[in-house]
Amino acid sequence: MGLLYIVSTPIGNLQDLSYRSVNILKSVDFIITENIHHTKILLKNFSIINKIYSLNKINEKKNTIKYIKKLKKGYNIALVSKAGTPLINDPGFLLVKKSHKKNIRVVPIPGPCAAIAALCASGIKTSSFCYEGFLSSNKNFKKKKIKKIKKEKRTIIFYESPKRLIQTLKILSQEIEPTRKITIARELTKIWEQIITGTMQEIFLFFKKNVNLRKGEIVIILEGSKIYQKKKITQNMKKIFQILSSEISFSNSIKIMQKIYGIKKNFLYNKMIQEKFLNEVD
Ligand code: SAM
């Protein structure tokens, strides 16, 4: 039986390819990749000479069977993706699953991964997190998904296209408490790397204003929810709050609302700040 190596490659900076990865890529019988052109450039940079074959979304089923046969015959294979860690929003899951079924050893060669790089530098809790990959490009599906996960207590990681960043931030601002922390990590390990963390409101306003910064490859890190409140804020309650806050201070209005409705102060505060903010930006 051969070995299947899962080799992480750089997400921008070529110096992030490890010595071990270079040695594996040199020594295996052949390399499989989702993007032959891109992998050829990588190999050339490190003077690695080896055969390269394809494994992408279109040929995944057919080619997985082919590569499993090769592994069973004793060939050692390295799987790489265009960038970062294979299988993380990249092909290879079927091959790994089938390898396990056939008792083929799968060997990870760890290295760059945009999600983990962004998380570690975000300043947002790393003790417990979940990875959600890309949000749907369809606005309604995206909204549904965000509504579904907005009470998640763990830190949440998304990948996002620069074209949809502002739309996503707007939906998040409508659904998420305005004081929750969020990080936008752009162009990690590259010349224009930017990691910006702030409250939901601050980050939305920042990217609303800085159109020229909605570029490059993006990871979003969202702090988990701290709200355990089950009660809902009704339209009627919002109206009452508006009337109150036009007569007395914001914080006194919150206090009165809390007394009347028995809702936690923090929850109420966040909801009302969000309401005020959305009215202002619309
Ligand atoms: N397998 C890759 C990994 O390990 O991160 C992810 C591949 S996925 C198809 C590509 C997405 O990853 C990009 O659209 C972006 O969201 C994120 N990404 C990749 N490289 C990045 C970088 N240098 N900076 C920020 N995000 C990056």
What is the Cα 3 distance to its own chain's centre?
Answer: 30
How would you class 259 by CB atoms within 10 Å of its CB: exposed for 0-12, middle for 13-18, buried for 19 or more?
A: exposed
Residue 219: name the closest of 124, 143, 152 by CA.
Answer: 124
Is-same-fold flag (3-112; 115-222)?
no
Q: How far is the CA of 47 from the centre of ligand 1 (A)?
A: 25
The answer, yes or no, to whether any atom of ligand 1 lies below 6 A from the CB of 113, is yes
- CATH superfamily for domain 3-112: Tetrapyrrole methylase, N-terminal domain (3.40.1010.10)
Q: Which of 9, 220, 244, 208 has the alpha carbon at shortest distance from 275?
A: 244
Identify the CATH class of 115-222.
Answer: alpha beta
Nearest CA to ligand 1 atom 13: 217
Q: Report whether pLDDT(279) > 90.
A: no
Residue type, 228: Y
- pLDDT at residue 276 above 80? no
Whole-prediction pTM: 0.85
First to last CA, the chain: 62
Indicate whether residue 221 lines ligand 1 (CB < 6 A). Answer: no
More confident residue, 281 or 88: 88
> Which residues, other chains included, contact 137 with Cβ-Cβ below 8 Å and sequence gap of 6+?
161, 164
Higher pLDDT, 26 or 272: 26
| Helix residue ranges per DSSP H, the chain | 19-27, 36-45, 60-72, 93-101, 114-122, 139-149, 165-175, 200-209, 235-247, 250-261, 265-281
Pocket test for ligand 1, best of 89, 194, 213 (most atoms within 8 A of CB): 89
The rounded Å distance from CA 245 to ligand 1 centre is 45
CB contact at 8 A, 108 and 71: no
Q: Is the CB of 28 under 6 A from ligand 1?
A: no
Ligand 1 centroid – CA 216 distance (Å): 10
CA 86 / ligand 1 centre spacing (Å): 11
What are 205-259's pLDDT values in tens digits? 999 999 888 899 999 999 999 875 566 788 888 888 889 888 998 888 888 888 8
**Could you report the per-residue pLDDT of 117-175, keeping only the tens digit for each?**
999 999 999 999 999 999 999 999 999 999 999 999 999 999 999 999 999 999 999 99
pLDDT digits (tens, 9 = 90+) for 32-52: 999 999 999 999 999 999 999
Measured at the CA of 147, the angle between CA 142 and CA 151, to 5 degrees, comes to 135
The answer, yes or no, to whether any atom of ligand 1 lies below 6 A from the CB of 219, is yes
Polymer length in residues for the chain: 282
List the domain boundaries for the chain: 3-112, 115-222, 235-281
pLDDT in tens, 85-133: 999 999 999 999 999 999 999 999 999 999 999 999 999 999 999 999 9
What distance in angstroms lies between residue 11's CA and the mean position of ligand 1's atoms?
Answer: 7
CA separation, residue 120 to residues 13, 188, 206, 209, 230 (Å): 17, 12, 22, 27, 32
CA distance 119 to 126: 7
pLDDT (average), residues 194-215: 94
